[in-house]
Structure formats: structure tokens, C-alpha cells
Amino acid sequence: MNPLLIIPTYVSARSQAKIAPVAETYDHMTPLQSPGELARCLKSLMHVQGVGQIAVLVVSETQVAAQAARKVRAICEQFPLLNTIVIGQVEESLIKQRFKQLNLTGLDEAISLHGYSAMRNLGLIVAGVFGFDSVVFIDDDEVVDDSEFLVKGMYGLGKLTRRGIPILAKSGYFLDKEGSVHSKRQDRWYDRFWMQGSAFNRWIDSALRGPRLSRSNHVCGGCLALHHEAYRRVCFDPWIVRGEDLDYLLNLRMYGSDIWFDNQWHLRHLPPKTPSEGLRFRQDIYRWIYEFRKMEYSRTQIDLQQIKPSSLEPYPGPLLEPGITKRIKRTALLRSLARPDKAAYRRAARVATSEATVYAERCCSKYFEFQFIWPEAMHRIEDDGALRDALLQHATVGSDTSTRPVTDDQVGRIDPGATSEIRLNMAD
């Protein structure tokens, strides 16, 4: 396997969080004048076996996109031994121009550097253009301590289980600064209607005790590997405002595939402090109400696999059951009494019965319309020589692009298994 390593990084002109369009609100954005976490992440990759091509996606406000790209390029230039391309506004424009030339229209919202899912879709397009057989997503606020990180990430990818089920997508997990895998959301009295933290902890404890690979109910978007047979068929949903990684699991299941959990594959997550937990919960409200409506809509489509909340126990099934709007509103109100960010939680409570519900009802069918054309878009863009050359010219870090081929057969080759059918230790 020759994975493209994709790292989104988030740059802002602002030094403090501000209420923004819900689809363009991120957990953390690095101010232009701040060094941020990207250099630390790249430095940790220097000792990792099999690192081939890295693509850094620059997410920023439009008005500072050029400055953000220059800043990120300067950081990447500190690591000349890493083979890096930087995908900023210029490169995004090149891709969209090529879309138009290929008569692929109406994709601007779904494939871009704005929003968690649209950004990931753009990364998949880049992987397709350069012909990568797999991708690995990590985040810029993570650190890779294990030199075999990519070796473990590729383990079993593209292989078959004992029952002939292909493994096309894998998730690992992250450790926090204390080395814990558990959610710190210890469900208090104000979370009595929203036991997300304890439900996740029960699930991951079980998964860690099980076989190395097992079907997953959880996806860590910062430790995610996709085979090209997965990403060329199924895209991320641009209309889910956060939690796009878990949503991708549900999308794969609806279209007849799945994500597997590897309990030996992990890294460290060292995020900066989230400025406003109320703003994050506002996104969670949009996320879960939208997810519920989307699942309801999917059951009306005869060509999709049906997913029941009961198949996702103990997490995230309870969060996808009827009555979610009432539970979210009650949780927001209770948190507004006990948590520091009281005003933001009160605003979030109002959102649950108004804006978020309207958004979910308006957008819940859009993903399936976009997903219908995604495979064709990937087919047309794959191994596109003209676009590949243009991206190499503009995106490659370093002055001599001729000596830095993106897909060098001698770089990044990782064996996922010795045979075409690997006998994995897992429950089928």
C-alpha cells in the first residue's frame, strides 16, 4: 500500500472564537500570528516508517486564505525530508476549474476547504488525482509516537476476513495527554438526558478487550485509513456540521460496507483549549438532529441498507433514537445552570427547536443526491495528468518539483498482509 497522508490545518485571522456559520465553526483555529500545532505534528512524522506523500489542507477564512497558505508552506519547509504538498485556495481553484472542464458542476459546496466534510472530500479528490491506493487522515493537533504508525494503519486494509468480507476502512483511536482513551465527559446531573461520555467509554473498553480488528461503532477522524475502493465509492457528507467521521461509518453501512476498529493503532491527541464549549454544543445540536433526520430519510430509500439505533449499542445508538430534540434542549438548559459558558448554552437550547430542526429537514436528502454523482466524479478525476501537473507546480513544498515525485514507487510502500486473503483474528 502507498497511502497519502492527509493533514487538515486551521488558520484564522481572529485570536478568539466567534459565532460563525455553523458549518464553518471548528474546534480550534490557529491565529495567523501564532505558531500553532502543525510543526509539532510534522516533526513527529520524521521517524515514522513508510511515510510517503503528505498533503496539508489549509482551512481558513477566505479573506486571509493567501496569508494562511504562505504560513503553512513556511512551516512545511522546516521539514525538507518530508515530501509535502500544500493545498490552499489556489489549488482548490485549480481543482474546481478542472471540474468545470470535465462538466462536473454543482460540487463547489461539497468539495472545498470550508467545513469538515467538504475539506475531507477535497483531500480524497487529491488522492484520486495522484492515483493513491489509500489515504490516512490525521489532525494537526496530534502527535505520532509509534514508528510503526502507518504499518499498523495499513494492516489488513484491502484484505478479506474469514468470511470474505473486504476491509476497506479502518479507525484507530487517540490517547490524551495523560495517556487515557476515555472520554472526559463524566456524565454529571446536568447530562442525565445525554449520557454520551459514559456510553462511549463502555464501547471502547469492550473494543480494546476484543480481537485486534472488529466492526466499529466509532470513528476517530484523526486516525482513519480508507482504501481507494471505499473512498472512490462513498464520500463524506458536507451537510453534517461536525462528527463527519462517525457519519462516514453510517454512510458506508448504508451503501453496503463498514469501518473496522484496530485496537493496536493509535496516536496522541494534544488539542489546544476549546474557547467555548457552548459553541461546540451548538454544533452538536445541529449534528445529532441532522443525523436523526438523515437516518429517517434513508429508510425511505429502497436501495440503501437499513440501520437501526439498536445495532449501534452502547454508542452512538441512544443518540439516534426518537425524542432527540427534547433531550438536547433539556441538556442545554441544565448545562446553562451549571457550566461556565451559560449564555452560549441558553442560545444552544433555543437552536434545538428552531434553526437546527429546520436545517435538518431542509438538508437531510442532499447527501444522497451528491453521493449519487460522487463515483462518477472520482472516475473522471482519477489519474488526471493535466490536473496532477498543475497541482505539483503550485502545491509542492520546495523549489524543484521535478525531483519530488508525488507517487514514488520506492516511498511509502507498506504491506498490509502477506497474501491476497489474510486470516485476521477477528469476529466476523
pLDDT band (50, 70, 90) for residue 247? very high
Distance separating alpha carbons of residues 170 and 389, to the nearest angstrom: 30
* pLDDT tens per residue, range 151-180: 999 999 999 998 899 999 999 999 999 999
Q: How far apart are CA 123 and CA 55, in angstroms?
A: 8
pTM: 0.92
Domain locations in the chain as residue ranges: 3-274+373-403
pLDDT category at 427 given cuts 50, 70, 90 is very low
In which band, very low, low, confident or very high, does the pLDDT at 417 lie, cut at 50, 70 and 90?
A: low
Per-residue cell: 337: 445552570
Spatial CA neighbour of 220 closest among 289, 284, 252, 268? 268
Asked if the model's pLDDT at residue 303 lies above 70, the reply is: yes
Q: What is the structure's pLDDT at 422?
A: 42
Tell the burial category of 187 from Cβ atoms under 10 Å away from its Cβ (0-12, 13-18, 19+): middle
CB atoms within 10 A of CB 220: 23
Question: Are 129 and 384 a contacting pair, CB within 8 Å?
Answer: yes
% of the chain exceeding 70 in pLDDT: 89
The model's confidence at residue 402, banded by pLDDT at 50, 70 and 90, is very low
CATH of domain 3-274+373-403: 3.90.550
| Phi, psi dihedrals of residue 345, rounded to the nearest 5° | -70, -35
pLDDT given for residue 76 in this prediction = 97
Q: Which pLDDT score is estimated for 11?
A: 94
Question: How far apart are alpha carbons 201 and 207 in whole angstroms?
Answer: 10
Q: Is 277 helix (H, G, I), strand (E, B) or coil?
A: helix
Query: In angstroms, rounded to a whole number, what is the distance separating the alpha carbons of residues 218 and 260?
Result: 9
Higher pLDDT, residue 376 or 190? 376
